[in-house]
């Protein structure tokens, strides 16, 4: 099922919703970062499709359940839909860091699965995240653009990325600013 629209991969915690060191365990704890739902809607209205790529180790750590995670995703999708946007698909890694899976960011497994499922050209895709893992994942999957937002853990990630000499293609204060850059960049580059 090939996607003919340009794709933007988004991390969840710290990009779309407020993050917590104690994890977002239930739908009641999910709260949009102001403007993030409108930003996703703007992407959709500009002809992009949005796919969520997120580490959710709280599942295998026993902190929350898959049913709670699905309820969080439903609340997020409903909030985005209420603003006129749509999340095409969600790929998540339930594994803890010590499990050695191929899907936990910065490994590219989740993105590679999405690229394969939808026939996406990685060179034309964007990734927006708030962590060094997100930028690393985008690079490991050979995506065309990796963007860092300063919400969530973004400021701390920027320091890490500078030390690693792995600069994002663009650093934005929040998802709305990142989306505006993506739309502008896509408009000025050749279409696939």
Q: Is-catalytic flag, 89?
A: no
With contact defined as beta carbons under 8 Å apart, do 122 and 145 qualify?
Answer: no
The catalytically annotated residue of 13, 37, 134, 174 is 13
Residue 130 to residues 15, 83, 147, 158, 178, Cα–Cα distance (Å): 6, 23, 8, 9, 11
- Strand order of the β-sheet with 87-93 is 87-93, 49-55, 7-10, 126-129, 145-149, 170-172
Q: How far is CA 142 from CA 10, 105, 110, 133, 145, in A?
A: 15, 14, 13, 14, 9
**Is 130 a known active-site residue?**
no
Q: For 179, what's the count of Cα atoms within 13 Å in the CB-facing half-sphere?
A: 23
Q: List residues with catalytic annotation.
A: 11, 13
């Amino acid at each position: 099922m090939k996607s003919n629209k340009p794709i933007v991969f988004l991390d969840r915690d710290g990009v779309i919703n407020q993050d917590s060191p104690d994890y977002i365990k239930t739908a009641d704890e999910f709260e949009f970062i102001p403007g993030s739902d409108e930003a996703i809607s703007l992407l959709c209205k500009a002809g992009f499709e949005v796919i969520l790529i997120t580490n959710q180790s709280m599942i295998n750590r026993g902190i929350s359940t898959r049913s709670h995670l699905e309820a969080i995703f439903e609340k997020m999708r409903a909030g985005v839909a209420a603003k006129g946007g749509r999340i095409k698909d969600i790929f998540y890694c339930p594994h803890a860091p010590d499990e050695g899976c191929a899907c936990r960011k910065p490994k590219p497994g989740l993105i590679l699965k999405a690229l394969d499922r939808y026939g996406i050209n990685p060179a034309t895709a964007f990734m927006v995240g708030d962590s060094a893992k997100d930028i690393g994942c985008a690079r490991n999957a050979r995506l065309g653009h990796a963007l860092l937002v300063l919400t969530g853990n973004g400021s701390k990630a920027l320091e890490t990325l500078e030390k690693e000499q792995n600069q994002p293609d663009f650093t934005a204060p929040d998802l709305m600013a990142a989306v505006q850059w993506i739309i502008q960049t896509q408009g000025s580059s050749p279409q696939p």
